[in-house]
Structure 1
Amino acid sequence: MYKLEADFSADPIWCAECSYNFDLDDFPVSEGLKKELIRWAVAFQEVVDLYGSAPRQDAVKAHNDWGRLLTAQVKSELGDGYKVIFHPYS
Protein backbone atom coordinates (compact mmCIF):
# COMPACT_ATOMS: atom_id res chain seq x y z
CA MET A 1 0.00 0.00 0.00
CA TYR A 2 1.30 3.44 -0.97
CA LYS A 3 0.79 6.71 0.87
CA LEU A 4 0.95 10.19 -0.63
CA GLU A 5 2.37 12.59 1.95
CA ALA A 6 4.36 15.81 1.67
CA ASP A 7 7.47 16.20 3.80
CA PHE A 8 10.62 18.28 3.73
CA SER A 9 13.35 17.10 1.35
CA ALA A 10 11.60 13.87 0.40
CA ASP A 11 9.66 12.52 -2.54
CA PRO A 12 5.95 12.36 -1.69
CA ILE A 13 5.34 8.61 -2.19
CA TRP A 14 5.78 6.37 0.85
CA CYS A 15 5.10 2.81 1.89
CA ALA A 16 2.03 3.09 4.13
CA GLU A 17 3.21 0.13 6.21
CA CYS A 18 6.96 0.63 6.74
CA SER A 19 7.34 4.36 5.85
CA TYR A 20 9.93 3.67 3.14
CA ASN A 21 10.27 6.73 0.90
CA PHE A 22 10.11 5.80 -2.79
CA ASP A 23 12.22 7.60 -5.37
CA LEU A 24 9.86 9.13 -7.93
CA ASP A 25 12.35 8.35 -10.70
CA ASP A 26 11.64 4.65 -10.07
CA PHE A 27 7.89 4.99 -9.50
CA PRO A 28 5.63 3.69 -12.32
CA VAL A 29 3.60 6.83 -13.11
CA SER A 30 3.82 9.24 -16.04
CA GLU A 31 6.49 11.93 -16.21
CA GLY A 32 3.78 14.59 -16.13
CA LEU A 33 2.37 13.23 -12.89
CA LYS A 34 5.85 12.94 -11.39
CA LYS A 35 6.45 16.63 -12.16
CA GLU A 36 3.13 17.56 -10.57
CA LEU A 37 3.93 15.50 -7.47
CA ILE A 38 7.27 17.32 -7.15
CA ARG A 39 5.54 20.70 -7.54
CA TRP A 40 3.12 19.70 -4.77
CA ALA A 41 5.94 18.54 -2.49
CA VAL A 42 7.94 21.75 -3.04
CA ALA A 43 4.82 23.84 -2.39
CA PHE A 44 4.55 22.14 1.02
CA GLN A 45 7.72 23.94 2.07
CA GLU A 46 6.00 27.24 1.31
CA VAL A 47 2.86 26.28 3.25
CA VAL A 48 4.72 25.04 6.32
CA ASP A 49 7.63 27.21 7.43
CA LEU A 50 9.51 25.40 10.19
CA TYR A 51 11.01 28.63 11.46
CA GLY A 52 8.16 31.03 10.88
CA SER A 53 4.65 31.52 12.09
CA ALA A 54 1.88 28.92 12.05
CA PRO A 55 0.65 28.10 8.54
CA ARG A 56 -2.52 29.76 7.32
CA GLN A 57 -5.37 27.29 7.43
CA ASP A 58 -6.60 28.26 3.96
CA ALA A 59 -3.16 27.44 2.53
CA VAL A 60 -3.11 24.10 4.37
CA LYS A 61 -6.59 23.26 3.07
CA ALA A 62 -5.65 24.18 -0.51
CA HIS A 63 -2.49 22.06 -0.30
CA ASN A 64 -4.42 19.10 1.12
CA ASP A 65 -7.10 19.44 -1.57
CA TRP A 66 -4.37 19.40 -4.23
CA GLY A 67 -2.90 16.30 -2.58
CA ARG A 68 -6.25 14.52 -2.71
CA LEU A 69 -6.51 15.24 -6.44
CA LEU A 70 -2.99 13.93 -7.01
CA THR A 71 -3.79 10.81 -5.00
CA ALA A 72 -6.72 10.13 -7.32
CA GLN A 73 -4.42 10.57 -10.33
CA VAL A 74 -1.81 8.20 -8.87
CA LYS A 75 -4.56 5.62 -8.22
CA SER A 76 -5.81 6.00 -11.77
CA GLU A 77 -2.37 5.56 -13.33
CA LEU A 78 -1.39 2.60 -11.13
CA GLY A 79 -4.68 0.78 -11.63
CA ASP A 80 -6.81 -1.44 -9.45
CA GLY A 81 -3.95 -3.66 -8.28
CA TYR A 82 -2.56 -0.94 -6.02
CA LYS A 83 -3.97 0.73 -2.92
CA VAL A 84 -3.05 4.39 -2.47
CA ILE A 85 -4.01 6.55 0.50
CA PHE A 86 -3.54 10.24 1.22
CA HIS A 87 -2.09 11.58 4.47
CA PRO A 88 -3.08 15.26 4.80
CA TYR A 89 -1.09 17.82 6.73
CA SER A 90 -2.88 18.92 9.86
Structure 2
Amino acid sequence: MDCCCKRGETRELIIEADIGADPIWCKHCRCNLDIEDLPISQGLMDQLESWSAQYGKWIDWEKEQLLPHAAQQEFAYNEGGYTLLHKLQAELCSTYSIQFIPGSTVDEYEAL
Protein backbone atom coordinates (compact mmCIF):
# COMPACT_ATOMS: atom_id res chain seq x y z
CA MET A 1 0.00 0.00 0.00
CA ASP A 2 1.36 3.44 -0.94
CA CYS A 3 2.46 5.69 1.92
CA CYS A 4 4.91 8.47 2.80
CA CYS A 5 7.77 6.17 3.83
CA LYS A 6 11.09 6.35 1.99
CA ARG A 7 10.22 3.08 0.26
CA GLY A 8 6.91 4.58 -0.80
CA GLU A 9 4.87 1.63 0.42
CA THR A 10 4.07 -0.29 3.56
CA ARG A 11 2.78 -3.69 4.61
CA GLU A 12 2.49 -2.67 8.28
CA LEU A 13 -0.73 -0.90 9.16
CA ILE A 14 -2.38 0.65 12.19
CA ILE A 15 -6.11 0.99 12.79
CA GLU A 16 -6.70 4.17 14.78
CA ALA A 17 -9.60 6.58 14.59
CA ASP A 18 -9.20 10.34 14.33
CA ILE A 19 -11.60 13.14 13.48
CA GLY A 20 -11.99 13.57 9.73
CA ALA A 21 -9.51 10.87 8.69
CA ASP A 22 -9.68 7.32 7.41
CA PRO A 23 -8.82 4.93 10.25
CA ILE A 24 -5.87 3.29 8.44
CA TRP A 25 -2.29 4.53 8.99
CA CYS A 26 1.24 3.44 8.09
CA LYS A 27 2.88 2.00 11.19
CA HIS A 28 6.25 3.58 10.35
CA CYS A 29 5.67 7.08 8.96
CA ARG A 30 2.14 7.50 10.43
CA CYS A 31 0.82 8.61 7.03
CA ASN A 32 -2.97 8.45 6.84
CA LEU A 33 -3.84 5.95 4.13
CA ASP A 34 -6.84 5.87 1.82
CA ILE A 35 -9.10 3.04 2.95
CA GLU A 36 -10.29 2.60 -0.64
CA ASP A 37 -6.79 1.43 -1.62
CA LEU A 38 -7.08 -1.63 0.62
CA PRO A 39 -8.14 -4.85 -1.12
CA ILE A 40 -11.10 -5.45 1.21
CA SER A 41 -14.81 -6.01 0.74
CA GLN A 42 -17.15 -3.05 0.45
CA GLY A 43 -18.97 -4.32 3.53
CA LEU A 44 -15.85 -4.18 5.69
CA MET A 45 -14.90 -0.82 4.24
CA ASP A 46 -18.35 0.50 5.19
CA GLN A 47 -17.99 -0.93 8.71
CA LEU A 48 -14.59 0.73 9.17
CA GLU A 49 -15.88 4.08 7.93
CA SER A 50 -18.98 3.87 10.13
CA TRP A 51 -16.90 2.94 13.17
CA SER A 52 -14.45 5.77 12.51
CA ALA A 53 -17.28 8.29 12.19
CA GLN A 54 -18.37 7.43 15.74
CA TYR A 55 -15.02 8.50 17.21
CA GLY A 56 -15.37 10.98 20.05
CA LYS A 57 -19.14 10.64 20.50
CA TRP A 58 -18.40 10.57 24.25
CA ILE A 59 -17.00 14.12 24.16
CA ASP A 60 -18.88 17.43 24.17
CA TRP A 61 -16.59 19.19 21.71
CA GLU A 62 -18.11 22.64 22.29
CA LYS A 63 -17.53 22.50 26.04
CA GLU A 64 -14.39 20.37 25.69
CA GLN A 65 -15.52 17.95 28.36
CA LEU A 66 -16.50 14.32 28.65
CA LEU A 67 -20.15 13.34 28.45
CA PRO A 68 -21.73 11.14 31.15
CA HIS A 69 -20.68 7.50 30.81
CA ALA A 70 -17.78 8.47 28.54
CA ALA A 71 -15.53 5.69 29.83
CA GLN A 72 -18.12 3.02 29.02
CA GLN A 73 -18.76 4.52 25.58
CA GLU A 74 -15.07 4.66 24.74
CA PHE A 75 -14.60 1.09 26.00
CA ALA A 76 -17.43 -0.14 23.74
CA TYR A 77 -15.95 1.86 20.86
CA ASN A 78 -12.57 0.22 21.38
CA GLU A 79 -14.19 -3.24 21.52
CA GLY A 80 -15.64 -2.47 18.09
CA GLY A 81 -12.16 -1.54 16.91
CA TYR A 82 -10.76 -4.89 18.05
CA THR A 83 -13.59 -6.67 16.23
CA LEU A 84 -12.75 -4.77 13.05
CA LEU A 85 -9.08 -5.61 13.49
CA HIS A 86 -9.92 -9.32 13.40
CA LYS A 87 -12.16 -8.88 10.36
CA LEU A 88 -9.47 -6.92 8.55
CA GLN A 89 -6.83 -9.53 9.39
CA ALA A 90 -9.14 -12.26 8.06
CA GLU A 91 -9.74 -10.46 4.75
CA LEU A 92 -6.12 -9.45 4.20
CA CYS A 93 -4.71 -12.79 5.42
CA SER A 94 -0.95 -12.48 5.86
CA THR A 95 -0.49 -9.73 3.25
CA TYR A 96 -0.36 -7.01 5.93
CA SER A 97 0.65 -6.80 9.56
CA ILE A 98 -2.10 -4.86 11.35
CA GLN A 99 -2.23 -3.34 14.83
CA PHE A 100 -5.14 -1.61 16.57
CA ILE A 101 -4.49 1.42 18.76
CA PRO A 102 -7.47 1.96 21.06
CA GLY A 103 -8.82 5.40 21.83
CA SER A 104 -7.62 6.94 25.10
CA THR A 105 -9.32 10.33 25.13
CA VAL A 106 -11.13 9.61 28.40
CA ASP A 107 -7.79 9.08 30.17
CA GLU A 108 -6.38 12.19 28.51
CA TYR A 109 -9.32 14.37 29.58
CA GLU A 110 -9.31 12.98 33.11
CA ALA A 111 -5.59 13.76 33.43
CA LEU A 112 -6.20 17.46 32.77
Shift of 1:67: 0.2
Structure of greater Rg: 2
Shift of 1:47: 3.0
Q: Which deviations, in whole Å up to 9, do the C-alpha atoms of 1:3-40 show, x marking residues without a partner? A: 00000000000001111111112111110000000110
Counterpart in the other structure of 1:15: 26
Q: Which deviations, in whole Å up to 9, do the C-alpha atoms of 1:52-73 show, x marking residues without a partner? A: 3225100000000000000111
Q: Distance in 1 between matches of 2:98 and 2:37?
A: 17
Unaligned segments of structure 2, at least 5 residues: 1-11, 105-112
* Equivalent residue pairs, number: 90
Which of residues 59, 63, 70 in structure 1 aligns to 2:77?
A: 63
Which of residues 54, 72, 78 in structure 1 aligns to 2:66?
A: 54
TM-score by length of 1: 0.91
Kindly indicate which of the two structures has a greater share of residues assigned to strand: 2
* RMSD, aligned α-carbons: 1.3
Question: Higher relative contact order by CA 8 Å / sep ≥ 6: 1 or 2?
Answer: 1
Q: Secondary structure at the match of 2:36?
A: helix
Which of residues 43, 49, 52 in structure 2 aligns to 1:41?
A: 52
Q: Which deviations, in whole Å up to 9, do the C-alpha atoms of 1:65-88 show, x marking residues without a partner? A: 000000111111111131100000
Kindly indicate which of the two structures has a greater share of residues assigned to helix: 1
Unaligned segments of structure 1, at least 5 residues: none
Percent identical: 33
Q: Distance in 2 between matches of 1:9 and 1:61?
A: 21
